[in-house]
Amino acid sequence: MEAINYSAALLSVKRYKEAKAMLRKMIPVAQRILGTDDENTLTTRWNYAITLYQDSTATLDDLREAVTTLEAMERFVPRVFGGTHPIAVGIERSLRNAQTVLSAREAGEDVVWVKP
């Protein structure tokens, strides 16, 4: 839970590099301790994907990883929690945002992330 709160705080002040490094370490720990279908584990993975696509310095590989992560979660989370669960709804929204950013960057457009 602390990793989720800390990563959210880092995201809110746009400290993406720190958030990404911390979440990369915490995801395997959460999966091992809590399980892959635990709400906190899923939220940690979701925050990681958000960190990847909201960073204006993200590489195309980072953006593709964000989309791939969110696509996998979009298929999995509704089966675990239901399609109207806040995490499922948020992941769907984040996936659309990540796809938009990736498409724009692949087209050579500069994208400055603005929170919806």
Q: Domain for residue 21, yes or no?
A: yes
| Domain membership flag for residue 111 | no
Tokens of 81: 């929690």
- The pLDDT of residue 110: 75
How many whole angstroms separate alpha carbon 50 and alpha carbon 62?
10
Neighbours of 108 (CB within 10 A): 6
pLDDT of residue 116: 47
- Structural domains counted in the chain: 1
Residues 6+ apart with CB under 8 A from 82: 88
Question: What pLDDT, on the 0 to 100 scale, is given for residue 115?
Answer: 55
Q: Which residues of the chain have pLDDT under 50?
A: 116
- Chain center to CA of 90: 10
Residue 62 one-letter amino acid:
D
Domain housing 77: 2-106
> Comparing C-alpha atoms, which of 56, 42, 33 is closest to residue 23?
42
Residue 113, domain member (yes or no) = no
- The CATH number assigned to the domain holding 46 equals 1.25.40.10
Per DSSP, the residues of 97-111 read HHHHHHHHHHTT---
Residue 22 counted as domain residue: yes
Contact (Cβ atoms closer than 8 angstroms) between residue 43 and residue 87: yes
* Residue 14 forms part of a structural domain: yes
Domain membership flag for residue 116: no
Answer whether residue 115 is part of any domain.
Answer: no
